[in-house]
Structure 1
């Protein structure tokens, strides 16, 4: 940083006094001396040069010292003001202090004394200048810090909402809103790679130009998107640098960031200014990249959720179909069991009649055989009844 010169205004109607101060006292390179030949010229130079220090003769040809001091203060000057008085003229010096003078010298001018008095006044100016500079830098740093904090807070909120969304269209809308918000862009768009076709598809946009609105859902050629997807790094371009890209000739500035999953780029998030005459900086590129990373996570999550949802629906449909088949088999089995039970019950009844001599006395050996058969039929009937109850 170049050193700032201290501007010193010398108001004296004696050329030799001005020459002495300029050439001998303030000859160093860190001073810039402005000369005024009388009071009127001094007031004019005061307005023009905005001096850090004024050295003024109290006995000017056109204005009295009192009038000159009053006029200087009326111009709004609040810096150090050194008056030069005749030796022994203490009253004039005291009056000058009352009217705003901060130090004094006497004739004849002594170089060492003049430099010491001037440096004493300029020391306060330099301290004030340093303090103002530090305050300005601190204020700028605070503003930048606050802006970065707001950006990070906004980015975090957007990231939280994006990664939680399972509907792709709502996710795209939120990502594009966030891109416009954190970069201040005129428009934003999201491009995703179609792996089967090997093309970039314009999936969504916000505040896009009419020429691009007509391309929504279609394959587009975008060399800048291809570039960032290959490099997997954000890119900002503005002005003449865009003229060689046919899809961005009418834009003033663009910023692109890749959507990456692990080491593979699945698309690109882009913003542009077609109305504002302002470029995007590296910080915009970093913010856009962070948002693109959130978007990539959200898209993968949404696709996984969709796949799992479809799989769950498919499994639920298969289960319902299986239930329907089981129910149909149950009804068929019930019908078979009913048809079996009726003749078996009839056979069991007939055996009991025969055993009890309904057709005459039965030999003992045959009777025992009939009883065993009856018991087996009874057990079979009980098994059929149990199956029918479980099916019911």
Structure 2
């Protein structure tokens, strides 16, 4: 990349530590180029976005776009992933992962509209997000130059970033003592760094200010909360009989889950770039949704589809985690998933209590559960003597194998 040709740069901007210092750094190192900041509103809350325009311009940006992506985020990314039951390494609900491709797409749209020469992001060279952003950019602007300061500058740590900010009079919301690396959106909040870098350290869930989306199970009420979620074709559409838009529904589930200490996960995950990383995640509403959706599938999907879909969910999660949202395989898997969701309609009642999600009933007009067949009482629809022939044929290979061993004296 010839720096002399970079006159205008679109920057993925959050106003956090990394992107706050990137604006002056770009101007210092790319010939005083114009910097257009883009903040994606994916539900991180007004507190994260308030004052961003003034801050961006004071640090050297020519303008700030705030892109409201909440509705698209939930409907086109979160719902698709929930329908797939996609969970990375059995614990991570992909909160950061599926937000990045959406943001990358919007960055490209703004960069093309502005006639920008490059797109810049603040992801570190150790993390997954650099891959997710850049694969998303390549999907829509394959020839667009990408600037990743963490792979260029001499700064080696977050402490050194704070030194740079202080030297350039850049205001920060954090201190060296509260300098967790966080990512927040409508789905989750992640915490990394500081004491969490040692997996031997217990997360300080009860420490004031650590949790932001809810409380610890110990601090949750002593009384259970019930909620009934209605799904249509695998998508949650109402809570306790009240139909809600996607954003409001997830927001209400976050409140219910957070109040009851739901959705805390302490994970040592395998990053795409080859290292293990420890993070603590708050995903209150998402944890409830995954549980409820899977519960409904238990009665609506046949055995073969249900079991095969579990493997699809694992692969879907891996693709999303690795930044491969805009790939033919992910799209093909989504098409398969959608075909399985045609009958995933019904109501799931759950009891939330001190970090636990307890099943309290499930119904569906498409339920494959037949009480007349499954009952322990007397029935006239299932002839138990039919099991004799079934077991004889099902166990025939095992019987032949055992007879052979006997014949050979083994």
Which TM-score applies when normalising by structure 2?
A: 0.19
Structure with a larger share of its residues in helix: 1
Higher relative contact order (CA 8 A, sep 6+): 2
